[in-house]
Structures are given as structure tokens and as C-alpha cells.
Amino acid sequence: MLSINDALHQVLEQAKKIREKREAIANTVSIDNALGLTLACDQISTIDVPPADNSAMDGYAINTRTLGDNPTKMIVSQTVAAGHAPQALSDATAARIFTGAEIPANADAVVMQEQCEVQGDHVVVPANIPVQNNIRKQGQDIKTGDCILKQGHRLRPQDIGLLASIGIAKVSVYQPLTVAILSTGDELVEPGNTLSSGKIFNSNRYLLKGFLQKLNFNVLDLGVVEDTLAATKASLKKAASSADCIISTGGVSVGDEDHVKNAVTELGSLDVWRIALKPGKPLAFGAIDNTPFFGLPGNPVSTFVTFLLFVKPFLSLQQGQNNHKPKAMQMKVNFSNKANPKRQEYIRVKFNNGELELFPNQSSGVLSSVVQADGLGVIPIGQAIKPGDTIEYISFDEFYR
């Protein structure tokens, strides 16, 4: 069986080649419409943030040189609110100032109002106030010329806010990929219909569609394909002419004489791998008219895991994104697991009181396990696990970045 790393390497090498051809394709969009899209170029700040020294507190702006060893009484010479330009601070006076307001020239500290005593139009300021006290310096957050977001970054709500904070209204982004999905199998019934003997509801179609929409890809949903070679070839041709990638579920495993495998082979090229992975051993990868094709296992958890481990990083890299690899952390477990001598296992686990807890049913047909679990625990080939051991853990949230 092929190792997970070797299979992923082959998949990502193909994605890199496709990405190089796509990187010239970009659109300019308003930041109002940029959420979830991928930046086509670095974003450089043309301003300092904050643009001028400003107050971190409601209080009084002073010049510390006028303070003595005891509390000092000063006249309040002006009031400075955020958004209003201050006058230079007169000697031996204080300026009433509010959070975010620009520091007046000649002031070098802000004393929070709780430390001061107001006496009519005067204020008593304590001694020993340090220079730059409660002042946020110009450019403290961002300096002119700083790269705030890099090419290949997928925009999140906080990124949109950051762009707005430096006055960027439009960004250059890559056009979202269009991904075609299709289901095969006479046993599949769409939700809302009545099940007859031998039939199952088509969950993989909705699982994949949800993944792709969550990741901001366009979906070309070809539904359930009639179980004939002619119909399968027709659907795949349509997908190849309209989509940037094609994903099917079911029917592409080693030794199967199914229509998907035959259709892809006739229309393009196909590699079918037996991967040292549990769940999800059979995985097909190929191309139809230069459009990449994935054939995922039919069991829903196998579909789920192989999408996360192979398809998602492939699509992210093809889209031009930099962060296509999920971050893993080391976590302790509170369960035992026998060694698997042939396959690396991705087990569904729950995070409980700082430790990982095993979901009781690890069958590849139990879709509820990926709903009730928090992520995947990774157990290397041949490694037995006992309570207190540490394993690699990948939160499901990591796959949605």
C-alpha cells in the first residue's frame, strides 16, 4: 500500500502545476464581497496605524516636565475628543482627553482620570508619571510599507476589518474554483423520498457540497448519475468542460469493474491507490481533459476523511492558498487502541477535560461519529496506544481555515 505522505505528495505536485497556470487569473472586488476569497497579491499599508500618537485612556494629557515631587495642580486648557485635531498643549496646563484622541503637541503622557482630582477648571495630577504613560505610539500596530496580508491568504472577517483599517477598499483575488460533484450507485435515494429494500439515502452528495460551500468554492452538482457507461461518460465530459476539479464518490476501488473507473480511463487517465490509511484505503486520482479527478470511497466517514486529507489540500493549493496544511498538536489520550500493523489510523476523538476521548464506534459507515467528535487523532502504523500516551490531534476547525 502507498503511504499517506507519498500519495499526498503526488496529489500536491499536480496542484502546484495547475496553480502556476491559474495565478494570472485574478479579479478586483470590493472588500464587502471579499470574504472567503484568496488574495492574488500582497497587501501593503500606505499609512501608519495609529496615524498619530493617541490616548489609551480617558484622562488628562500633560507634559511630565511640569510635574514636581508632589501632586501638581494645573488648569485644564482644552478638551480633546477622538476625531478632532488638538491644539498644542500650553505650558503647565493639562488637556482633558478621551480614549483614541490624538495627543496634543508638547504633551508626553496621559494620566487616567481615576488618578486625578478635578477642582473646578483645574485638575490635580499625581507625581511621578512616566514619559509615554498611556500613549499609543504612531505606527504601533502597522507602519507604512508593512505587508499586512500575503498573496495566497484566504480572507477572514478579521482580515476584512484589517484591510478597512488602512483604507483599502478593493483587493485583487483569485476567482473561486468550480468543483463538480457526482454520485454513483443504484442504491442511492435522495432525502425526502421513501426508502425501499436495499436502498440508502445519499449523504455523500450533501457532505461534499457542504464542504465545498464552506470553503467558498463554486459547486457544479451533477446529482446521481445513471448507472451506465454512456451516462457516466456524458456527466464526466460535462464536468471536465465546466469545472476546475471533479469529485465522485463510490465505485472506484481496486478490482471493481464499475462505470466510473472505465469512463475516466477512456476519457483521460486514472491512478487507483491502495493507501495505508484507515478509514479510506481506496482513493482514485487522475484527470479528464486536464481537469483533475478524485474518486473517493463510498462509505461516508471514508469520504469525509479522504476529502480532508487529500482533496481539501489539493483544492486549497490549486486555488492559490498558502495555508493548505492543517496544524496538528500533541494531546494526551484517556483510552487504549491496538496497533494496526498495516495502516495509519485517523480516529474520531472528542476533547474532554484536556484529554482526547475515543468515539466508541469507529466504523467507516457511522457518520454520527464526525458530528459528535471534535477532530481526528492520528495513530501511526504499528503503534499501540494506552491511557496517558500522547498522539497527534487535528481539530476539525483546522480543515475549514
State the average pLDDT over residues 228-241.
Answer: 93
The answer, yes or no, to whether residue 261 has pLDDT greater than 90, is no
Alpha carbons within 13 angstroms on the beta-carbon side of residue 179 total: 27
Backbone angles phi, psi at 376, to 5 degrees: -115, 135
Q: Are 108 and 91 in contact (CB under 8 A)?
A: no
pLDDT of residue 23: 63
pLDDT of residue 35: 96
State the average pLDDT over residues 173-199.
Answer: 90
Question: What percent of the chain has a predicted confidence (pLDDT) above 90?
Answer: 82
Q: Which of 62-66, 185-189, 198-202, 227-231 has the highest mean pLDDT?
A: 62-66
pLDDT of residue 253: 59
User: DSSP per residue over 214-272, as a string?
Assistant: HTT-EEEEEEEEPSSHHHHHHHHHHHHHH-SEEEEESS-STT---HHHHHHHHHEEEEE
What is the C-alpha to C-alpha distance for residues 210 and 199, in angstroms, rounded to an integer?
A: 23
Adjacent-strand bridge partners of 54: 102, 136
**pTM over cut 0.75:** yes
Among 43-57, 86-100, 123-137, 220-234, the minimum mean pLDDT is found in: 220-234
How would you write 128-140 as a 3-class SS string? CCCCCCCEECCCC
The answer, yes or no, to whether residue 256 has pLDDT greater than 80, is no
DSSP 8-state secondary structure symbol assigned to residue 168: -
Q: Where does the pLDDT of residue 24 fall: very low under 50, low under 70, confident under 90, or very high at 90 and above?
A: low
pLDDT of residue 257: 54
Find, among 307, 30, 353, the residue nearest to 179 by Cα: 307
